Amino acid sequence: MNSDEESNHNWPLSTHQIMPDNNDLIPLNLVIGDRTYRVRISPKDEEVVRKTVKTINDKMMEFKTHFAGKDMQDYIAMVLVWFATEQNASISNQVNLDNVSSRLQTLEKMIDGVLES
């Protein structure tokens, strides 16, 4: 995927936001499941990243209580599928909203045309 294609997606963070200049980054320890990951992020993204990690861990616990799994990787995979499905549903909902908006504009023009006659 080239950079033009990347910019067409509604990703929460752009490549520049994920990998800004090293001088602007702050260290952050993220605990996901039973592992700790040390990452460096932009200070302005810290809140979003922390909330995302909390959501991941909350979902993992939810799946752990409701579904049988062999190890933590099973639950991480379940969260990944859940997250990807949520993202695709969001995109689909936006497309549907755009279609409804377009249809409403067409109806409005038709009504305006009838009222002007």
Q: What is the pLDDT of residue 88?
A: 78
**54 and 42 Cβ atoms separated by less than 8 Å:** no
What are the tens digits of pLDDT across the range 42-66? Answer: 999 999 999 999 999 999 999 999 9
Please state, in angstroms and as integers, the Cα–Cα distance from residue 114 to each residue in 59, 101, 104, 105, 109, following that order: 53, 20, 15, 14, 9
Q: Where are the domains of the chain?
A: 3-116
**30 and 37 Cβ atoms separated by less than 8 Å:** yes
Measure the CA angle with vertex 17, ends 13 and 19; round to 5°.
120
Q: How confident is the model at residue 91 (pLDDT cuts 50, 70, 90)?
A: confident
Q: What is the pLDDT of residue 16?
A: 52
pTM recorded for the entire structure: 0.56
Q: How far apart are CA 97 and CA 35, in angstroms?
A: 40
Q: What is the pLDDT of residue 9?
A: 45
In CATH, the architecture of 3-116 is: 2-Layer Sandwich (3.30)
**Average pLDDT, rounded, for the chain:** 80
Does residue 106 carry a pLDDT above 90?
no
What are the tens digits of pLDDT across the range 10-28? Answer: 455 555 555 556 778 999 9
